[in-house]
Amino acid sequence: MLVVGALVFAAPALATPQQAGVQVALRALGLYDGPIDGEVGPLTRAAIAAAQRRAGLDPTGVITTRTRKALGPLGGPLFGTRPIQPGDFGLDVSALQFLLARDGLYGAALDGYMGPHLEQAVRRFQRRAHLTVDGVAGPATLAALVHRPAQRVQPTELYVVQPGDSLIGIATHFGIGLESLARANKLDPSRTLLIGTKLDLPVDVTPVEGSGVALGATPGAVRTLLDTWSGRLGVSPRLVRALAWMESGYQPDVVSDVGARGVLQVLPETRQWVELVLLGHPVPNTVDGDIEVGVLYLRHLLQQFDGDTTLALGAWYQGAAAVRQFGLYEVTKPFVADVLALEERM
């Protein structure tokens, strides 16, 4: 099969899906808070070196096979080495998300997990490219994504800066390189954005309408809130981080097809139950409040299943009653396994 850009080099290089996949893995580990743009700049090189130091490797800032292994389950497999199917997890899935977001077909979490949103995006691309529409990113689909005709990027769309926005957040949301966005608008990335500023955006990277990626809360800020609430409520921070990553990629405004919301993707009815039964009062509809509700519910499930993390995660995914009656559904098992694999690294 097709393998694109097997290594990430420390020298400036053309953006590649492999490099975007590495950025997603570094973000999951809390080492990178920049845009997922596939460009290896100073922030990415510093994050790579930090990951290498953490793993006891020489901090060269260059991705090698050993470095990717140190990144855990999001460090492989490389993009193009397997067909990507619903339920798959890894670096190649992150790269696929990056490519489809670049084309304006995908706007949900960049988290390395092929859930329903990504499958739908693959189908949209397959229809556009006149390929077999099966929702599986096989060799023909991957080749068409990588070798699509180059497009001239012209700033023809406008975005108006909102309270809480940052240039990095906007660049990440729209899949634009931070330096490219700053250059197009003659801005200094280190300076504060003024509310109401009109920014020129490339038309070919506008996200899917209603994708709901948060512009005001960076992944680093979300991770801090996750750690704060896990500490207050006595739940493993690693478990909370891993679950939040699988649910939203640390993106607070993601909304699922069934209405689950927030970093931990809590259903409205679950939130109402937590507020009424576990807390006895309503919680603000903020990132902080959403995380509090999610961690409280996870703690409740862990208590219900006597601390059995596998069963608690299964209950989170399919419901506690179903776990007690039927055990884990087949569709639940990969989700639980991926969260547990992430927990070991986060």
Asked if residue 6 has pLDDT above 50, the reply is no
Per residue in 237-263, pLDDT (tens digit) is 999 999 999 998 998 877 777 888 889
pLDDT at position 258: 80
How many C-beta atoms surround the C-beta of residue 311 within 10 A?
20
Query: Phi/psi class of residue 119: alpha, beta or left (left: φ > 0; alpha: ψ in -120 to 50)?
Result: alpha
pLDDT at position 151: 45
pLDDT: is 338 or 9 the higher one?
338
pLDDT at position 266: 94
Asked if residue 312 has pLDDT above 80, the reply is yes
Section 220-236 average pLDDT: 93
pLDDT: is 6 or 115 the higher one?
115
- The residues spanned by each domain of the chain are 17-146, 155-205, 219-343
CB 36 within 8 A of CB 172: yes
Would you say domain 219-343 falls under CATH 1.10.530.10?
Answer: yes
Highest mean pLDDT among 175-189, 205-219, 317-331: 317-331
pLDDT at position 8: 41
Asked if residue 59 has pLDDT above 90, the reply is yes
pLDDT grade for 184, boundaries at 50, 70 and 90: confident
What three-state secondary structure class fits 95?
Answer: helix
pLDDT at position 70: 93
Section 325-335 average pLDDT: 94
Both tokens assigned to 49: 């070196």
What three-state secondary structure class fits 254?
Answer: coil
pLDDT: is 346 or 127 the higher one?
127
Non-local (6+) Cβ contacts of 25 within 8 A are 68, 71, 72, 74, 75, 91, 94, 112
Nearest-10 Cα torsion for 330, 107, 189, 151:
120
- What distance in Å separates the CA atoms of residue 118 and residue 100, rounded to the nearest whole number? 9
Q: Residue 160 belongs to what H/E stretch?
A: strand 155-160
Instruction: Look up the CATH architecture of domain 17-146.
Output: Orthogonal Bundle (1.10)
pLDDT at position 156: 47
pLDDT at position 9: 40
The CA distances from residue 61 to 15, 49, 56, 192, in Å, are 16, 4, 13, 29
pLDDT-above-70 percentage for the chain: 83
Over the chain, what is the mean pLDDT? 84
Q: Among 21-25, 89-93, 175-179, 271-275, whose mean pLDDT is lowest?
A: 175-179
Asked if residue 205 has pLDDT above 50, the reply is no
Both tokens assigned to 141: 């689909």
Q: Could you tell me the sign of the dihedral formed by the alpha carbons of 248, 223, 160, 187, in that order?
A: negative
CB 36 within 8 A of CB 169: no
pLDDT grade for 182, boundaries at 50, 70 and 90: confident
Q: Could you tell me the sign of the dihedral formed by the alpha carbons of 240, 241, 245, 251, in that order?
A: positive
pLDDT grade for 217, boundaries at 50, 70 and 90: low
Per residue in 123-155, pLDDT (tens digit) is 999 999 999 999 999 999 999 988 765 444 444
Whole-model pTM: value is: 0.73
CB 167 within 8 A of CB 186: no
CB 86 within 8 A of CB 98: no
CATH topology of domain 155-205: Membrane-bound Lytic Murein Transglycosylase D; Chain A (3.10.350)
pLDDT at position 148: 64
The percent helix, strand, coil of the chain (3-state, each to 5) is: 50, 5, 45
Asked if residue 107 has pLDDT above 80, the reply is no
pLDDT at position 193: 75
